[in-house]
Structure 1
C-alpha cells in the first residue's frame, strides 16, 4: 500500500513539474515575441541609391524623425546590393526599409509581414499622380541611330551593350527590361546576361552607377530613373516622353563628377509607382507603427527641405517639392498595378 502511495506521489510530482515547464515555455514564447516589437532600437535599411555619401543628410533626418516619434535608438544600414536590403527587411534584421516598388514586393514575397507604410504623393497631393519615370537612355550624339521612321525604337538596342541598375530594381530593370522584351518578342530573363540578345550586360548597383556606365562609354544604352538622379542633373525638355534630354550638372558630385555637362536622350519612358518606406509588421508594435505614420505625414516633415526640396534648391532633398507633395499612408492594395506588371 505504501509503495502504491509513493508511486502516486512521484507521478503527481512529475506532472506538476511538467506543468511548470509548459507554463514557463509559454511565458518564454510570449516574452520572445514581445521582444521583437518592444526592442529599444529600430534598424532602417536603405537601397544602394540612398546609401551614398550624398544621401547622408536624408538618412540622418529620417533617423531623427523616427527617434522623436518612438523614443528608440535608430540604427542605419546602408547597402551596395539590392538583395541585401530586401533580405534584411524580410528576415526582420531591419524593421524598416526605404525600398523601390520591386524591392518592396520581393521582400513581401519572402515574408507577408512586410507591408508599405507610407509613400509620397504626386503634385496633386493625392495618390492619383504618385509616380516617377523610368528611362532607357542613350548618348545624345547617337540618339538618332535609335530611330525607325522618325520615332525611337527599342528594337535598335539588340546586340548592344547595356547597363541596368540591379536585377531587383523596378525602374532600373523590371520596367525597362519588360519594355525591351515586349518590343522584341523575347523574355525578360533573356536580357539579364550578355552573349545573347545583348552583347554585354552590366549592373550599376545604383541609378547613378548605371548612368556612370553610360557616360563613361562602357555601354551603349543604360536604364535609370529620374528621382535618383536629381542630385546630379536635370531634364532640359519634357521629361515624360521619348526624346527627353538629361544633362549632368556642372557641379555634379561623385560618382558623376567626371560626366559634367554630358547629355543623354531617352528612347523609352515608363511610369513607375512611387516607392514606399516599408515595415516588417512582426518586428514593430502597432503603437510605434502609428507613431511613425503620424510623424512622417506631419506638416513639419512636409516642410523639411531635406525630405522635400524646392526644384531650384542648391542641395536637393530626398524628393522634389512640387505642388502639394507629401507623405501618405498606404497599404499593399495600392501596389496592385505593380504586382501585376512584375507578376508577383
Structure 2
C-alpha cells in the first residue's frame, strides 16, 4: 500500500514542473476532416440527473469556444464512455484517470487536455481520494491493534464501482492485492474467490448505496462523487475518515439518509481529465477549449466549481482556488505506472 501512495503522491511533485503549456502537446496534424459538431460523454457518476445543469454548462462553454453544436451523452456503464471517446463517436469526455488510460490504450489519439487543480490552484495538490469503507456500526470489527486495517476483509461481501474505475476499483484493488499478496487481481472481481461475493455498483454512488443498504460488507468509492450527497465529519485523507449522508440527500441516497461509513484505508488519486479524441477535434479547437475553460468566467461559475455544501450541484468540487489547468499525458505518468498501462 505504501508504494501506491508514493507513486500517486509523485503526481504532485511532477505537477510542479508542468504549466498550462502542457495542453499544447502533439495532436493529430491538420485541422481538416474534423467533427463538424461535438459530443461530450460522461461517466456514470457524472450522469446523475442532478448533474444535468453542470453538464449543460460544460457543453455551452465548449460551444462558445468552438462555435460548434455540442451534445451531451450520459452513460450507465464505464465501458460505453471509454468506447465512445476511443471510437470517435464522442469527441470529448470527462473521465477518471483509469478510464482515460484505457481509452488512450485503445486509441493513442485520445489525450487529456485539462484537469482541475487542488486547493492551491496548482497541480501540486490536484488529487482526490479513493476509499475502502465499512458501515460505521461495524467499523470496530475491522481494527487490528487499535487501528483500522484491511486485514479482516477477506471473505466479506465486497462492492466495487466498475472494473474500469480508477478510484472505484484499480487503486483499492491494487492495494488489497498488495496487502494480501494476491497474484491475480482478477480473483478480486469474482465471487467465491478472495471475497465471498463481489458486487459492482456501476457508479460511486451505487457502490456506496450497496454498502449503506447492507448488500455489501465493504465497499470502494471516492470522495468527489459523493460530497454532493453527504460530508466527511473528520479528516477525509486517512483511515478513519467518516462519511455521513445528508438528511435531505436525493436518490439514490434517499433510502440511506443519515447513515455513515468509516474508511479502513484512503488513497490519493490524480484528478480526472477532460480528454479529446484528437483525430476528431482540430488543434485549433482544442486550444480554444483550453483557453475558454481556464478563463475566470468558468473558474468563478458555480456550475463548474462549488463547495460541497452549496445548493447547486457543480461539475467538480470547489476548494480554495480550484480551477482548470492545461495538461498532457505526461502528467499521468504516476497513474500509468501504478496501473501498469
Relative to total residues, which structure has the larger helix share, 1 or 2? 1
Distance 2:248 2:38 in 1: 36
Match of 2:74 in 1: 78
Does residue 46 (structure 1) correspond to residue 11 (structure 2)? The answer is: no
Match of 1:266 in 2: 263
Alignment of 1:7-86 (within 5 A): 34-35=32-33, 37=34, 39-86=35-82
Q: Return the structure number with greater relative CO, CA threshold 8 A, min gap 6.
A: 2
For the pair shown, which has the larger CA radius of gyration, 1 or 2? 1
Alignment of 1:174-323 (within 5 A): 174-186=170-182, 187-323=184-320
Structure 1 residues 13-45: Cα deviation after superposition (integer angstroms, max 9, x where no partner): xxxxxxxxxxxxxxxxxxxx933x1x3210111
Distance 1:184 1:219 in 2: 20
* Contact preservation (8 Å) 1:212, 1:255: yes
Does residue 129 (structure 1) correspond to residue 125 (structure 2)? The answer is: yes
Alignment of 1:100-179 (within 5 A): 100-179=96-175
3-state secondary structure, aligned to 1:282: coil
Cα shift at 1:271 = 0.2
Cα shift at 1:319 = 2.0
* Contact preservation (8 Å) 2:129, 2:223: yes
Structure 1 residues 109-154: Cα deviation after superposition (integer angstroms, max 9, x where no partner): 0011110010000111110100000000000000010011111121
3-state secondary structure, aligned to 1:154: coil
Cα shift at 1:311 = 4.2
Superposed CA RMSD: 1.2
* Contact preservation (8 Å) 2:116, 2:324: yes
Structure 1 residues 161-182: Cα deviation after superposition (integer angstroms, max 9, x where no partner): 0000000000000001111111
TM-score, normalising length: structure 1: 0.89
Q: Structure 1 regions of 5+ residues with no counterpart?
A: 1-32
Cα shift at 1:320 = 2.3
Distance 2:287 2:97 in 1: 22
Alignment of 1:88-107 (within 5 A): 88-107=84-103
Cα shift at 1:155 = 1.7
Structure 1 residues 232-268: Cα deviation after superposition (integer angstroms, max 9, x where no partner): 1000000001000000000101011111000000001
Cα shift at 1:324 = 1.0
* Counterpart selection for 2:333 from 327, 333, 336: 336
3-state secondary structure, aligned to 1:168: coil
* Contact preservation (8 Å) 1:215, 1:262: yes
Cα shift at 1:65 = 0.3
3-state secondary structure, aligned to 1:103: helix
Cα shift at 1:52 = 1.2
Distance 1:306 1:230 in 2: 15
Q: Structure 2 regions of 5+ residues with no counterpart?
A: 1-30
Cα shift at 1:316 = 3.4
Cα shift at 1:315 = 2.2
Distance 2:318 2:102 in 1: 29
